[in-house]
Structure 1
Amino acid sequence: MPGSPPRPCRAPMCAGKTTHKHGYCDTHADQAVTWKKPAHKKSGRGGRPWRRIRERILQRDKGLCQPCLRKGIYTPAAEVDHIVNEASGGTDVDDNLEAICNPCHKAKTQEEARRGRGVDA
Structure 2
Amino acid sequence: MTEIGLIGAYIRGTYTGTPTRVAKLLKKQKGICPQCKQHFTPEDLIEVDHIIPKSKGGKDTYNNLQALHRHCHDVKSKNDYLYDWHL
Structure with larger Rg = 1
Amino acid at match of 2:30: K
Alignment partners' CA distance in 1, 2:23 and 2:60: 13
Alignment partners' CA distance in 1, 2:22 and 2:39: 17
Decide which of 44, 50, 59 is 1:82's aligned counterpart: 50
Q: In structure 2, what is the equivalent of residue 36 of structure 1?
A: none
SS at match of 1:55: helix
Alignment partners' CA distance in 2, 1:62 and 1:79: 16
Q: Does structure 2 retain, via aligned residues, the 8 Å contact 1:90–1:96?
A: yes
Q: Does structure 2 retain, via aligned residues, the 8 Å contact 1:67–1:100?
A: yes
Identity rate of aligned residues, in percent?
Answer: 29
Q: In structure 1, what is the equivalent of residue 20 of structure 2?
A: 52
* Shift, 1:75, TM fit: 3.4
TM-score (norm 1): 0.46
Alignment partners' CA distance in 2, 1:85 and 1:62: 23
Alignment partners' CA distance in 2, 1:55 and 1:80: 11
Structure 2 residue 76 is the aligned partner of structure 1 residue 108: yes
Alignment partners' CA distance in 2, 1:58 and 1:68: 14
* Structure 1 runs not aligned, ≥5 long: 1-50
Structure that is richer in helix per residue: 2
* Shift, 1:81, TM fit: 0.9
Q: In structure 1, what is the equivalent of residue 15 of structure 2?
A: none
1:1-121 equivalences under 5 Å are 51-69=19-37, 74-76=38-40, 78-118=46-86
Q: Deviations over 1:36-76 (max 9, x none)?
A: xxxxxxxxxxxxxxx5323311222133201222xxxx231
